[in-house]
Structure 1
Amino acid sequence: MSLVRRATSTTAGKILSFLGVSALAGLLVAGLFLPLAVTGGATAATGQKMIEQFPAELREEPVSVPSRILAEDGTELATFYAENRKPVELERISQNMQDAIIAIEDERFYEHGGVDPQGVGRALVTNASSGSQQGASTITQQYVNNMLINADMLRGEERLTISGTKTYADKLKEMKLAVSVEQDLSKEDILEGYLNIVLFGGRNYGVEAASQYYWGVPAAELDIAQSATLAGIVKSPNGYNPETHPEASVERRNIVLNSMLEQGKITQQEHDAAAGSGLDLDVHRESTGCISASQAPYFCDFVTHEILANDAFGPDVESREQLLNRGGLEITTTLDTGLQGRAQQAVEKTVPTGDDSGAGASLVTVEPGTGNIKAMAQNTRYHPEEDTDAGNTMLNLNVDAAQGGGNGFQGGSSLKPYVAAAWLEGGRSMYDMVDASQDHWPAGSEFQASCLEGGSTAIAEEWKVNNVIDDMKREMTADFGLYWSINTVMVNMAEELDLCDITDVSTRLGVHRADDGEPLNPANPSFILGSEEFAPMTQAAAYAAFANDGEYCAPRSLVSVKDTDGEEYDVGAPACEQALDPEVVAQLNETLTNIAHRNAEEAGQPDQVQEIPMGGKTGTNNSQSSTWYIGYTSGLSTASWVGNYTGLRTLADVPVNGTAHEDFWGSTLAGPQWFDYMGEAAGSHPTEEFRTPQDSPFDDPGSRDRYATGGDGTEPGNEPDRPGDAAESTPDNPDADTPSDSEPSTAP
């Protein structure tokens, strides 16, 4: 309902002609409970001057209304409010309620013009003769006062015109506006506005929210006793709250019933029945925020961070938070409820919430071509009482620190496709031979890095690199080395390249550190083996470019945001750009799709899943505390992560979901978790064939026979015993007992 749609009087004439200056001064005395001695001509003259300075129009400000976060299909995920309010039209408020509020708050509501002289006179006599303090505010004045409070809240003003704090000027302004409002709005409009804005105890503003809260019924169905109870609360929302002060509430309710009887609104029989009844509360508490989300609480948390960080919703965080809690926003997001449900089932199946291992499991899905976040799940419970043993945490495992996450997780071998992409961009082929026999670099060894001062970076200490799989320190194709995730292949490839070319590729794909948002640092060559920490969503979005011919789209969660007036906020369109040449991606996909199909076989996936066009890569950090499987189809890109989110404590030989694994690789749980989820999810989204390279170096790109050879496609060799990750070298675990070495340290 619009409060005031046009300007009204610009002078004090309307009020003065209605009451007279001296009467207005008397009203002020009654309203403010000032001593009788302050009345008189001087007061009247002062009051007239003040009145002339006040606006005659009640400035329209939006009434506080809860905001809602919705999934893409309109499913409500969560509500946010400072005031629990559900505005309704007067026709949807029972006549009992209308009669009750008028009977106790303003019995001459339909007779006066905004200020009630008879009520003021009574208050004046009572205040002067008894020393008690009795007010004379009409429903219209109370409506104006509530609107002023609402406006102050929205403008962030500290002093509110609440009862007991009003000044002489406050009361004058309130009365002038009340008369103005009466001349602009109908009585029905005023009553409707009042019943939708007034506080009924707790955070329940408006009769509909209060009715639903206390009894679980709409305002249209309020009976006489319930209506009288709510009407009684208005005088003291805390003191007469039926939930916290039931005896006082009943006493006040019966006073309201007496007034209704005296004014002929109810019969004696109806009065007696209502007065003899109990409160019969059936409280329906409404929780606010992501803690009460129907599903996807961590995604909900991510969305709130997006709102609070976006200047489209206000100039600062405080104003954006006010808008979220009071602005009645309808926030439609990218979340797919079907995918979200499958993702949540998959992570809890992999590592149950509160598992004794303390391990975390997460899945996040990004749509290639849009960046839309379709699912975001983890096996912990979104709860403010941090208790990792019980699985409680507010930490979002899938996102950056600035978005509600932590410092991220070491990426391990999941970084190797970026090295391969730079290799291909340099005009090389995945069939080119790489001498992977070199496994150590002496102190002072330099790697080309043209973007750094001097054009290179030197390692300060000897760097030794090992592989998990034996007999791999030899010559082989780049394709073979990526397929079996051979560390020495990647480092030797990087030495042939410019490290800045590799970081340029990763930066174009949106890859950045989770803790500070900075891109990969070419000054430390160990980044190529995944020593840096990333958020799973970052990796899912980067790999989505492999699914979409090299087009990278920044992750996005907001589809549309509009307020109660239908005004739309600019949330932006998908932010996409061509990050890699389609031919480079096509050649890279020949290897990554073979990896994914091998992983599908190892995970025991049925034929229909194994036949889906898909690519992917595992990753494991040095301590085996962070494991990955990032895979994609043409329609969905998903990062699956399983690890220790409280530190670098290894999960090798630790019972996770009741089973201990001697070695804890990306293929141990993260890979099966991805297939458990995507095996069902892929069927509901596109799974088209990827682009075929124009000039593939392989006669049969889909054949995996070449991976059982010595690596050059001609000489027989030993097939690896364990087709898993290569363990990575990391900076934070020098005492690791896995078959790898510490990372290089670089000169300042």
Structure 2
Amino acid sequence: MRLLSRLSLWVLASVVSLGLVGLIAAAVAYAMLAPGLPSVETLRDVRLQVPLRVVSREGGLIAEYGEQRRIPLQSEDLPPQLVQAFLAAEDDRFFDHPGVDYQGIARAVRHLLLTGEKGPGGSTITMQLARNFFLTRDQTFQRKAQEILLALKIERTLSKEEILELYLNKIYLGQRSYGVGAAARIYYGKSVDELDLAQTAMIAGLPKAPSAYNPIANPPRAKIRRAYVLGRMLAEGYITPEEHAEAVDAPITAEVHAAPVEVSAPYVAEMVRQTMVAQYGEEEAYTGGYVVRTTVDGRMQAAADRALRDGLRAYDHRRGYRGPERQVELTGDEDESEREALLADHPRYGGLEAALVLSVDDEAELARVWVRRHGELELPFEGMAWARPYLSRTTRGPAPENVSDVVSVGDIIRVDRAPDVPRLAAIPAVEGSVVALDPENGAVLALAGGFDFFRSSFNRAVQSRRQPGSAFKPFIYAAALEQGYTPASMLSDTPIVMHDESLETSWRPTNYSGRVYGPTRFREALVHSRNLASIRLLRNVGIDETLDYLARIGLDTSVMPNGLSLALGSGEMTPLAMTQGYALFANGGFRVMPHFIDRIESAQGEVHFQARPPVACVDCSRMQVQADLQEEAGSVALQPVADSVLPATDAYLMTSIMQDVIQRGTGRAAQRLGRNDLAGKTGTTNDGRDAWFVGYNNRVVASAWVGFDNNDQLGPRETGASTALPIWTDFMEQALNGVPDAPLRQPDGLVTVRIDPEDGRRVRAGEGGMFEIFREDNLPDVAPRGSGGSGSGSREQDIF
């Protein structure tokens, strides 16, 4: 009995001693490790790395930039079943332990003693959070001790709900997704509250090994892990046996879902990205969670892309089919993966899919093709009958009579599957741009800088300087109005030969038609784009005086010639600059500044930047007085007023003339829109390398430009009217859909009088003539009695 008592005392003393040793060891470890531990107070202000998001003015996603994909969620946004799945899989005693689960640690120690290897069971959600925010993933006892100490500190600092929210937003879940919000979007294209039970369990199984259990990279192992999570949920009573059975048998539906782009505007997105990197630095821009709201209108942007692509393809069809993109040898035994491999280097561009020709059947009048990521398709001859061979920029070959005249087995071609009948297509060699601005404040409503950004990121709308040709003439004529010319002033359209220093040669300009028209009224000279009359007008006004005027209204004269070729648009301007210039006519003479960023917000919704662009206004004096009063009172001022650089009377007169361009000049094709408030001007360079149309009403000002990047000629009969105007018209048809006609209001200071169309002088009442608009302080002389009334206007051949 004494021996038993002594033994019991010895055991008790040993346990106490071991306990004391353990406490001393723990105290020593704490004393050594605690000073080096980070402050967990930082978790209260933690900023998760969230990618840069670019959205349209309506909020539709345009692009997302950043290595880490994350969609932060608040506690109230986390579905209970999702929380239960993670608790069941990772930490079923989360709400019971103080940050360290001693039962779990005991299991881990037992596994180590029995196997000699580190095993599972020791890490709680709080410990994982400590590791993810503060520690490395090195499997050392020191790191584990630090993890335990940090977990205890975290539990004393944050509530369980705060810990769980941070964990579910921070945890890495594969496929560059961080947090459950991003994982749900990337694996299933859903928000967390849209996931079904099987999908929820799949995501909850990922933290253990995101690569090994990835449902995309390793579906079999992922399914095993999902079954484990579902089993744990059943054991914890979170789901019923019926729900468990159904979810275990559910197929794996995970696949990579890119960010759900709602508005395709990659050229604008790249402009925003460059701006944000320049302003905030690359790391901050990509991880700061900024949301950049652009000025882009989603509907107009879609219309701009569609109009430009259709127009460029129409040009390409007119010039002829340039043949397949590539030719490969086929054995006829290729399986699906081999066919896809042959098309791998031919991504989708501009809505056109790459296709491999498998067989050609002239008798059945079709070809069988394999379309990338779609499968086999029959391409009928009807869809390729347009494909006359391209021979040169001036000639095409004969029209095809059979399928074999167009395609051969092994050709890699393009197919347009959008029409009812699939059509042979081709990626155009020519390029172009469409730019649309709000003339009131310069906001970029739509911008397409090329056929497809992912084929060529060069943004022709803002980076390409091209000669505007006759589309530049309205600026020359506006300068003449300031010098006292009127729409009825007579210009001389007669041959001219001179030595132009800017060209260093003798210059013999001609009209597009090769004809001359003699005395021509100012209005008619611009409506019909008379080159000779325009040159003489510039010479009379003065080159230096005109360049000064152009600089004053905001045009960049540093790239303009100091010579008479300026009258024909031989300077260089970007499509964006041309569009900005025409906004002067659309808004009554105010210089507005193009801008594409409306607002920059932080991840928390704080506004870092709000655009306040100068705006055109009708009663600017009243608006400015109100702004000054508000500023003096210390409140937010109204929008600043744009500079008035063109008299409202001159803007109206130019609009009136350019409306005639559409009503009876080179822009007549735009009449199909059935509107009376459109004005604009065609433009083609003398050597046919650039085709333009720039036009507007008081709601939208837009330009369409077409040309080759290498500055090749477009070819015969490719002019602003035939090549660029259809693009502009297609765009404006959609942009102004549902918008009522709103002609520019005639400002004070203008009067309408009758003139003799032959010489532009006023005629007396009852002597016939035609109406013209003048500034009331600049009326023409009265014609001698009996000389007027020669008709309602000259009928001249339209030229370009």
Instruction: Give the alignment's TM-score, normalised by structure 1.
Output: 0.71
Aligned residue in 2 for 1:273: 245
CA pair 141-115 structure 1, distance change in 2 beyond 3 A: same
CA contact (8 A) 1:499 1:522 kept: no
Secondary structure in 2 matching 1:561: strand
Q: Does 1:649 align with 2:724?
A: no
Distance apart, 1:58 and its partner CA: 2.4
CA contact (8 A) 2:60 2:261 kept: no
Distance apart, 1:636 and its partner CA: 1.9
Distance apart, 1:91 and its partner CA: 5.6
Q: Does 1:376 align with 2:376?
A: no
Query: Matched residues in 2 for 1:508 and 1:166: separation?
Result: 71
Aligned residue in 2 for 1:483: 527
Query: Matched residues in 1 for 2:552 and 2:68: separation?
Result: 44
CA pair 184-502 structure 1, distance change in 2 beyond 3 A: farther
Query: Matched residues in 1 for 2:20 and 2:476: separation?
Result: 85
Match of 1:598 among 664, 674, 680: 664
Query: Matched residues in 1 for 2:747 and 2:198: separation?
Result: 75
Q: 1:488-546: CA deviations, max 9, x gaps? A: 3333333344534433443444444xxxxx84334465344222343323222211110
Query: Matched residues in 2 for 1:523 and 1:502: separation?
Result: 10
Secondary structure in 1 matching 2:720: coil
CA contact (8 A) 1:614 1:632 kept: yes
Q: 1:189-237: CA deviations, max 9, x gaps? A: 3223322331222133333443454456654576665444333211211
CA contact (8 A) 1:623 1:648 kept: no
Count of residues in Structure 1 that have an aligned counterpart in Structure 2: 621
Q: Does 1:419 align with 2:476?
A: yes
Distance apart, 1:258 and its partner CA: 5.7
CA pair 68-684 structure 1, distance change in 2 beyond 3 A: farther
Distance apart, 1:411 and its partner CA: 0.6
Supply the AA of the counterpart residue of 1:365.
Answer: A
Match of 1:108 among 90, 93, 96: 93
Q: Does 1:627 align with 2:691?
A: yes
Match of 2:602 among 558, 563, 570: 563
Query: Matched residues in 2 for 1:205 and 1:686: separation?
Result: 51
Aligned residue in 2 for 1:454: none
CA pair 147-707 structure 1, distance change in 2 beyond 3 A: farther
CA pair 354-625 structure 1, distance change in 2 beyond 3 A: closer
Query: Matched residues in 2 for 1:429 and 1:589: separation?
Result: 13
Q: Does 1:287 align with 2:258?
A: yes
Secondary structure in 2 matching 1:110: coil
> What RMSD, in angstroms, separates the aligned Cα atoms of the two structures?
4.3
Distance apart, 1:46 and its partner CA: 2.8
CA pair 531-600 structure 1, distance change in 2 beyond 3 A: closer
Match of 1:143 among 125, 129, 138: 129
Q: Does 1:234 align with 2:179?
A: no
Query: Matched residues in 2 for 1:702 and 1:563: separation?
Result: 62
Query: Matched residues in 2 for 1:487 and 1:63: separation?
Result: 62
Distance apart, 1:436 and its partner CA: 5.0
Query: Matched residues in 2 for 1:674 and 1:702: separation?
Result: 32
Between 1:213-222 and 1:589-598, the stretch displaced more is 213-222
CA pair 701-231 structure 1, distance change in 2 beyond 3 A: farther
Q: 1:592-632: CA deviations, max 9, x gaps? A: 232232248832736942xx133211100123232112112
Between 1:501-510 and 1:179-188, the stretch displaced more is 501-510
Secondary structure in 2 matching 1:283: coil
CA contact (8 A) 1:94 1:221 kept: no
Distance apart, 1:139 and its partner CA: 0.7
Q: How does 1:143-542 map to 2 (within 5 A)?
A: 143-148=129-134, 161-164=135-138, 175=148, 177-215=150-188, 219-220=192-193, 225-256=198-229, 273=245, 277-278=248-249, 280-283=251-254, 285-288=256-259, 293-295=261-263, 297=264, 299-310=265-276, 314-323=279-288, 327=289, 329=291, 331-352=292-313, 355-356=316-317, 357=319, 358=428, 359-360=430-431, 362-377=433-448, 380-382=451-453, 384=454, 386=455, 393-397=456-460, 399-401=461-463, 407-435=464-492, 437=494, 439-442=496-499, 460-472=504-516, 474-512=518-556, 519-523=558-562, 526-542=565-581
Supply the AA of the counterpart residue of 1:603.
Answer: A
CA pair 501-507 structure 1, distance change in 2 beyond 3 A: same
- Which has the higher relative contact order, 1 or 2, with Cα contacts under 8 A spaced 6 or more apart? 1
Supply the AA of the counterpart residue of 2:272.
Answer: E
Query: Matched residues in 1 for 2:189 and 2:58: separation?
Result: 26
CA pair 354-239 structure 1, distance change in 2 beyond 3 A: farther
Q: How does 1:15-34 map to 2 (within 5 A)?
A: none
Aligned residue in 2 for 1:156: none
Q: 1:121-167: CA deviations, max 9, x gaps? A: 5545655774533474321132244345xxxxxxxxxxxx4423999
Aligned residue in 2 for 1:49: 35
Supply the AA of the counterpart residue of 2:513.
Answer: I
Secondary structure in 1 matching 2:721: coil
Query: Matched residues in 2 for 1:162 and 1:531: separation?
Result: 63
Equivalent pairs: percent with the same residue? 26
Query: Matched residues in 1 for 2:527 and 2:25: separation?
Result: 89
CA contact (8 A) 1:69 1:76 kept: yes
Supply the AA of the counterpart residue of 1:631.
Answer: G
CA contact (8 A) 1:354 1:380 kept: no
CA pair 505-145 structure 1, distance change in 2 beyond 3 A: farther
Aligned residue in 2 for 1:151: none
Unaligned runs of 5+ residues in structure 2 are: 1-18, 320-427, 615-641, 761-768, 773-780
Aligned residue in 1 for 2:798: 723
CA contact (8 A) 1:635 1:686 kept: no
Query: Matched residues in 2 for 1:374 and 1:224: separation?
Result: 43
Distance apart, 1:94 and its partner CA: 4.9
CA pair 595-648 structure 1, distance change in 2 beyond 3 A: same
CA pair 674-49 structure 1, distance change in 2 beyond 3 A: closer
Query: Matched residues in 2 for 1:702 and 1:187: separation?
Result: 87
CA contact (8 A) 1:590 1:701 kept: no
Secondary structure in 1 matching 2:702: strand
Match of 2:720 among 649, 661, 666: 666
CA pair 251-577 structure 1, distance change in 2 beyond 3 A: same
Distance apart, 1:260 and its partner CA: 5.2
CA pair 568-484 structure 1, distance change in 2 beyond 3 A: same
Q: Does 1:687 align with 2:742?
A: yes
Between 1:696-705 and 1:598-607, the stretch displaced more is 696-705
Query: Matched residues in 2 for 1:316 and 1:92: separation?
Result: 32
Q: 1:267-297: CA deviations, max 9, x gaps? A: 8x5798379x356122353323xxx6434x3
CA pair 604-222 structure 1, distance change in 2 beyond 3 A: closer
Unaligned runs of 5+ residues in structure 1 are: 1-18, 27-39, 149-160, 387-392, 402-406, 446-457, 513-517, 654-662, 726-748
Query: Matched residues in 2 for 1:346 and 1:701: separation?
Result: 42
Query: Matched residues in 1 for 2:315 and 2:515: separation?
Result: 41
Query: Matched residues in 1 for 2:69 and 2:220: separation?
Result: 24
Supply the AA of the counterpart residue of 1:280.
Answer: P
Q: 1:652-691: CA deviations, max 9, x gaps? A: 34xxxxxxxxx22212232344344435644515623343
Distance apart, 1:322 and its partner CA: 3.3
CA contact (8 A) 2:55 2:62 kept: yes
Q: 1:425-451: CA deviations, max 9, x gaps? A: 3344454444554623226x5xxxxxx
Greater Cα radius of gyration, structure 1 or 2: 2
CA contact (8 A) 1:72 1:335 kept: yes
Supply the AA of the counterpart residue of 1:665.
Answer: T
Secondary structure in 2 matching 1:605: helix
